[in-house]
Structures are given as structure tokens and as C-alpha cells.
Amino acid sequence: MNDWSRAVSARRGDDLAPPIDSVTGNRGLQIEEALIFEQDSPGHCGVDLPEPAPFRSRLGGLERQGPIGLPGISEPQIVRHFTRLSQKNYAIDTGLYPLGSCTMKHNPRLNEKLARLPGFADIHPLQPVKTVPGALALIDTLAHWLKTLTGLPAIALSPAAGAHGELCGIMAIRAALEARGDRRARVLVPESAHGTNPATAAACGYAVDPIPADETGRVDRAALEAKLGTDVAALMLTNPNTCGLFEREMIDIAAAVHAAGAFFYCDGANFNAIVGRVRPADLGIDCMHLNLHKTFSTPHGGGGPGSGPVALAASLAPYAPLPWIVHGSDGLELIEHKSGPAEHSLGRLKGFHGQMGMFVRALAYMMSHGSDGLRQVAEDAVLNANYLRARLADDLSLPFPGVCMHEVLFDDRFLKDTGVTTLDFAKALIDEGYHPMTMYFPLIVHGAMLIEPTETESKALLDWFISVMKRLAAVARAGDAARFRSAPEFTPRHRLDETAAARKPVLRWRPEPARREAAD
């Protein structure tokens, strides 16, 4: 043994020194990284640009005077800065996100490659349409896949995200009602619905009438039918619902809704459970938004961009927002104004044509799976969630026993009298290397924990996750509440003071007063 190996092997548990603080506050690979504004080297630049030749300005005397206040930093420093920031993030690429209703599945890199092809990334929405036939073809192909998967005859592709798609759907419903001279004032929304549902209905001028859940966690059909009337414009339902359960009576509910002259909106956030196994049109719905960043794998990107296309029944198709891509006599046409077939369109919801970058990614995903693969996606997603349910049923508490769909809902009864809350439990899970599950949603269950593994997790990974959850539940019941309340311990930051952040909002960096004076 040489000196080096002797020195290394001499360290045993007993003589390990107590934890130290580093000089810098850094912890190995975890670097305390300052803001770019605190790394300013005035005059530095991370881009080399040529000096413009002298010319006569034609800005009309409106030149910007004085400094903007942006920091100057070289490229190596910028690359290091953002690389270090990235290392403070959890991501699908690093581990499981058991987030119910978010469908955090693997984001294929082929999608990124294809979205960056110059033929898609480097084309302008206002180029003469004859110069972009391939773009129209891609959009039309995507539309065909989505129409086939939903069973609905039309699709609006411009909404930029799920919430935007909901707005589109409710606006289309209102337009259809107005077209038949029918002014209705109420929209029915289950109490378990995602907050965007009532927010959207209220935004469009409707009074929101909540419907309770029954004891099985599904919408209370009797209560729903009692609320139907000639002043109800629509029912907004999520299926599978936010408890992860399939709304069994959907077809009968649809019949009742239509008999009352109302429309049936389906929130498609949970489409991953049924894609390729069920066509929503067969359940009787009139419109449904899809989340390309959920079911169809486009990356969450830390909060966006998303894409929320809306599939529409024939009764709502005429009102679809602009632009439309239609099959004309000469090939695909782009309709940008309320004319011809689009004369009753509800108008624009967004600039230009929609989230093309996400269309490319989603189509690549769909083609990679195919109709058989997509059906397998739903089956594996549902299988994975039920496996978690079966293996954790005795360690956690299930408000609704029985088969679930792609996500399983637990509540906090198993933590009763432990002094550990759902929040504490979730923070402890972070220390174990997992992102927490969805917490406190849906609101109809106390201390909700909604877990959606998705189909891209292997059985081995699920078994590991199950063992961690079992262990944590046991530790909580054994009474070690303090360990949960101080969690997370091993992350770049401990629990942050959200109260202070909201009481005295600091929403931007500002220079120190002395520096500010110097700048003036």
C-alpha cells in the first residue's frame, strides 16, 4: 500500500470530522452563483459584432439616452453562469416526477433535432404560402392525427397552452349559442376541477356552478342533472377526472347535457390514460383541449412553452379561431381572415399561426409511437399507476379504493397524529432524490397526494420509488416528525420564506444606492 491509498483507507466512520462549512459557501459541485447583474464588467460583451460604418440616423431624434443598466459579461462566464444554474434544477432527465395531472414523461431528443431543421425553425409565418407547403403539410398531418385520436372532425391549433385552449373552447361554445340566439348564463364545473376551468368560464362571463363529487370520487350525476336547465351553457368535465378515476357515466351525462341544449367541454389534461383506447367523441363530448406538453411529450422547459389544440365537434367547428388550414382545390390553403368557410370564426386568439415548434415535436412523438404504440402508452401509464396503488395501499391511505387510471390519489389520513403534513412528507421525498407528487389537489380530498408515474418509468424504477415511499411512511408513523419538518436538507436551498416574499415583494434586482447615483 502506498501513502496515497493508506491515507484514503485510513478514513473510517468514527474519525470523520463533523460537517464543515466551506469558505465559499459552495458545496462541491453545487456553486453559489451570483446574479448576472452582480458580475458586470462594463464594456465586456459575450458577442462579437462588427462596428457599423458611419451613417445618418433616421430615428427621428428619439435615440435612447443614458445607460440601460444591462451587465457586460464574456461568453465563458455566461456559459458557466447558466450551466451552474441548470445544476440547481431537478428535471425529468434527472429523475421521476410523480406529478399527478402533469404527465411528466420522457422528452425525446429526436423531437428537438427535427424542430430545429431550418425548414421549420427558419421560416417566417408571413412568407408567401407557396414557399412553405411543407409547413402546412406538417400542421395538416398533426391535425389529422389529433382528429383521429379524439374522433372529432375539426381541430383548432392556435391556442398556446391548455388554459388558452380552454378559453378557445368556451368562446366557441358561446359563439355557437349566440348564433342560435340562445343566451345562457351558467357553466357547470366539478369541485375537483383544475383552477383554470372556473377561471376560464368566469372570464367568458359565465357564472360558475360547482358540482360535488359522489362517494366514489366521480362527479355526482344526480346533483349535476338537477343543475341542468335552459340557462346552462356548458358542462366542463375532466376525464379521467382529477382523482384519477374514469367518469363511468359520461355517455349518459352527455345525453343529459345535450338534452338540456348545453355543450359538453372535456378538459383533456389526462388524455394519457385513454389515448388510443378511447375516442373522446364516442363519449359524447363536443370539444376537448389537448396538452401537447403532457400527452405528446413536448418538453416542459421549466414552465413553457406549451400548446393547447382544441378538438371540435361539427356543431362548434364553424367558430374555430383563425387561422384555418383547409384542403383547397390546389392543395393546402391558409385562411387568415373571417371569410369563406371561416366567416363565422371567433377570430384570433394569438398572433400568427400557433406553436409550430411544438407541432413538429408532437408529430415526431406520435409517428415514433404510431397508433399501436400510443395505445400501449395508455395501457402502460394505467398499469404503472395501478401498480403503485396496489403496492402502497397499505402504507398510505386511499380515499377511493378500486381501480384508478393513469394517476392514483392518496390523502393524508395515514399521517394522522404523526405531526407530519402532506407538505412535510413531500419535502422529505425531495431529500430522497425525487420531485414531490402533486399536493393539495384536488381540493375535495384532505391533504391530497396525486401520483402519476407515466409510461416511461421502468418497473425497477417504480419498485425503488415504492420502497422509498414505504420507508418514509413508516418513519412518519414512528414519530420522527422533526426530520420531515426540516426537510429538505440536501438541496441547494432549504425551505424558503414565501410569506416574506409575498409581504414585501422584491421582483427584480436593483443597483445599490451608491452605484445608482454614479449611474445617474
Partner 1 sequence: MRYLPLTSSDRAEMLAAIGAPSIDALFADVPEPARLQGPLDLPRAMGEIEVERAISSMAARNVAAGSVPFFIGAGVYRHHIPAAVDHLIQRGEFLTSYTPYQPEIAQGTLQYLFEFQTQVALLTGMEVANASLYDGATACVEAVMMANRITGRRKAVLSGQLHPHYREVCETYARFVGFAVDAQHPIPGGEDLAALVDRDTSCVVVQNPDFFGEVRDYSELAQRCHEAGTLLVIVVTEILSLGAIRAPGEMGADIVAAEGQSLGNALNFGGPHVGLFATRDKFVRQMPGRLVGQTTDAAGRRGWVLTLSTREQHIRREKATSNICTNSGLCSLAFTIHLALLGETGLKRLACLNHAAAVKLAERIEAVPGVRLVNRAFFNEFAVRLPRPASEVVDRLAERGILAGVPASRFYPSRNELADLLLVAATELTTDADIDRLEGGLREMLS
Partner 2 sequence: MSLLRFTRDHEWIRLDGDFAVVGITDYAQSQLGDVVYVELPEIGRRVDQGKEAAVVESVKAASEVYAPASGEVVEVNDALAADPAKVNADAMGEGWFLKLRLADAKELDGLLDEEAYRKFVEEQH
Contact 186, 207 (CB under 8 A): yes
Instruction: Candidates 215, 498, 512, 520: give the one binding partner 1 (CB under 8 A).
Output: 498
* Binding positions for partner 1, 394-453, rule CB under 8 A: 403, 405, 426-427, 430, 435-436, 441
Interface with partner 2 by CB under 8 A: which residues? Answer: 440, 498-499, 502-503
Give which of partner 2, partner 1, none residue 506 binds (C-beta under 5 to 8 Å, depending on kind): partner 1
Which residue, 9 or 499, is less far from partner 2 as judged by CB?
499
Contact between 188 and partner 1 per CB under 8 A? no
Give which of partner 2, partner 1, none residue 92 binds (C-beta under 5 to 8 Å, depending on kind): partner 1
Give which of partner 2, partner 1, none residue 364 binds (C-beta under 5 to 8 Å, depending on kind): partner 1
Number of residues that bind partner 1 (CB under 8 A): 208
Pick the piece of the chain touching partner 1 (CB under 8 A) from 27-35, 226-234, 309-317, 413-421.
Answer: 27-35
Contact between 370 and partner 1 per CB under 8 A? yes
Give which of partner 1, partner 2, none residue 212 binds (C-beta under 5 to 8 Å, depending on kind): none
Instruction: Candidates 11, 26, 35, 515: give the one binding partner 1 (CB under 8 A).
Output: 35
Which residue, 13 or 67, is less far from partner 1 as judged by CB?
67
* Binding positions for partner 1, 43-62, rule CB under 8 A: 43-47, 49-53, 55-62
Give which of partner 2, partner 1, none residue 436 binds (C-beta under 5 to 8 Å, depending on kind): partner 1
Contact 149, 292 (CB under 8 A): no
Instruction: Candidates 413, 471, 509, 516: give the one binding partner 1 (CB under 8 A).
Output: 509
Which residue, 153 or 416, is less far from partner 1 as judged by CB?
153
- Residue 451's beta-bridge partner residues? 99, 408
Contact between 22 and partner 1 per CB under 8 A? no
Contact 299, 357 (CB under 8 A): no
Neighbours of 88 (CB within 10 A): 13
Contact between 93 and partner 1 per CB under 8 A? yes
Contact between 390 and partner 1 per CB under 8 A? yes
CA 87 to CA 81: how far, in whole Å? 10
Q: Is the dihedral of CA 126, 359, 315, 164 positive or negative?
A: negative
- Residue 187's beta-bridge partner residues? 208, 234
Instruction: Candidates 101, 192, 200, 272: give the one binding partner 1 (CB under 8 A).
Output: 200
Strand order in the sheet with 232-238: 154-156, 310-312, 287-289, 263-267, 232-238, 186-190, 207-211
Give which of partner 2, partner 1, none residue 185 binds (C-beta under 5 to 8 Å, depending on kind): none
Residue carrying the nine cell digits 412535510:
424
DSSP E strand stretches across 345-399:
none
Q: Select from 111, 124, 142, 179 the least CA-distant residue to 315.
A: 179
- Rounded to a whole number of angstroms, the minimum distance from the CB of residue 81 to partner 1 is 7
Contact between 212 and partner 1 per CB under 8 A? no
Phi, psi of 479 (to 5 degrees): 100, 10
Give which of partner 1, partner 2, none residue 96 binds (C-beta under 5 to 8 Å, depending on kind): none
Which residue, 162 or 476, is less far from partner 1 as judged by CB?
162
Contact 439, 449 (CB under 8 A): yes
Please, is 156 exposed, middle or buried when counting C-beta atoms within 10 Å of its C-beta (0-12, 13-18, 19+)?
buried
Which residue, 219 or 366, is less far from partner 1 as judged by CB?
366
Per DSSP, 64 falls in state P
Contact between 289 and partner 1 per CB under 8 A? no
Checking 355-358 for CB contacts under 8 A at 24+ apart, the result is: 355/160, 355/292, 355/305, 355/306, 355/307, 356/120, 356/125, 356/135, 356/138, 356/139, 357/115, 357/120, 357/121, 357/305, 358/292, 358/293, 358/298, 358/305, 358/306, 358/307
